[in-house]
Amino acid sequence: MSSGPFDATGPDRIRQLFDAHLDAGLHHGAQLAVYDGDELVLDLAGGVTGSDGAETTPHQRHLLFSCTKPYAGVCLHHLRDRGLVDYDDPVVDHWPAFDRGDDRKAEVTVGHVLSHRAGLPTTGFEARPDEWADWDAAVTAMEDATLSFAPGETAAYHALSYGFLVGELVRRLSGTPIDTYAHEHVFEPLGMTETTIGLPDGVSADAVATLVGFEPYDSCRASGAGLDTGTKDAAALFNRESIQRAVVPASTGIGTARDMARFYACLVNGGEFDGVRVLSEETVAAATSPQIAVDHDATLGVPRRYALGFECAGSVWDKYGTLSPRSTFGHGGLGSIVGWGDPDGLAMAYVTNGVRDEFEHGTRASTMADAVRTVFG
């Protein structure tokens, strides 16, 4: 006879917690995938694709918000392995017009961009979502922008500008748009068959789970910091087909938890997975090593530890659980999603369609991370 709501052991205990989050109404649908080394040890899906949606399956695509950022960053790391760029390179060496709006931008390096130290947390383009699909307009906005901080001075989360800066660097270095580059050099080699940056023309918008914004019950800071919008407005904006189809390398990744966990499993294994090498071990080590730690991110107002394209554990505001070692690296997506990897071999992705206040999101993500580490750690 059952003795309580969490009486199971092993993976079944994680399933109980996964179902409890659904039963509590934290989101309508979710996926949870965990790799231990190269083995997929957990692959859960439950709930529905929206408030009136169909059953969520492991193949259900979701809007990934800022969990897209590591996918974009790894494209630059891949180009570094090809000898086409280095982290200390000034951006203007590869993008000469970048400093047009502010000659101080000549000091911004590729490493500054990847670690949110470029000094361009906002550019004005964030407030023009109808233009996000216009790559030329995005590039012009980045070139015209003026710095909020001196390059390298501090960390200030670049909610959208990160993606356009990284994406244009990838395009200029490779001659290939970043969505295509990511597909050819990251997603396809790793078998991430359900992941793209932007929803491709050949895939129906109905294939993406509907985002639902929930009212916050508690808050440590203003909701929506970085995008200047609440959960309901964010859900409405990113439910628009025109936004989902736009290539916004900071926030319009489309994919599944299974694919995301596989991505982190590759990095945990030094850049190789299932016989396919995506990055060199040296580049993975550099990409996931902390570059700056701040007590007050100038955009988010909370502690942050940034690597090159990833966030690192070790602050009270990360979403990797109370048991996470400081070597954990990953990224969260606005109020709904998190993915991470540990050098000891674990990789996890928790993907939901419920956009909650960051405090609530952090609580559910960390609780799930602790459950995973308790069982598989």
Catalytic residues, by residue number, are 66
- Phi, psi values for residue 44, rounded to 5°: -110, 150
Q: What is the DSSP string of 59-97?
A: T-BEE-BGGGHHHHHHHHHHHHHTTS--TTSBGGGT-GG
Q: Identify the three-state secondary structure at position 283.
A: helix
The beta strands (E) that lie in the chain are given as 29-36, 39-47, 62-63, 196-197, 212-213, 253-255, 272-273, 276-277, 292-294, 304-306, 311-312, 329-333, 337-341, 346-352, 354-355
Q: Which of 164, 116, 114, 100 is nearest to 137 (CA)?
A: 164
Alpha-carbon radius of gyration of the chain: 19
CA distances from 23 to 4, 18, 31, 340, 363 (A): 15, 9, 14, 25, 16
Q: Residue holding tokens 């200047």?
A: 228
Q: Which of 248, 259, 255 is nearest to 72 (CA)?
A: 248
The percent of the chain in helix, strand and coil, each rounded to the nearest 5, is 40, 15, 45
CA 192 to chain centre: 15
Measured CA to CA, the distance from residue 268 to residue 344 in angstroms comes to 8
Measured CA to CA, the distance from residue 114 to residue 157 in angstroms comes to 10
* Interaxial angle between packed helices 11-23 and 358-376, expressed in degrees from 0 to 180 and rounded to the nearest 10: 160
Q: How many CB atoms lie within 10 A of CB 71?
A: 29
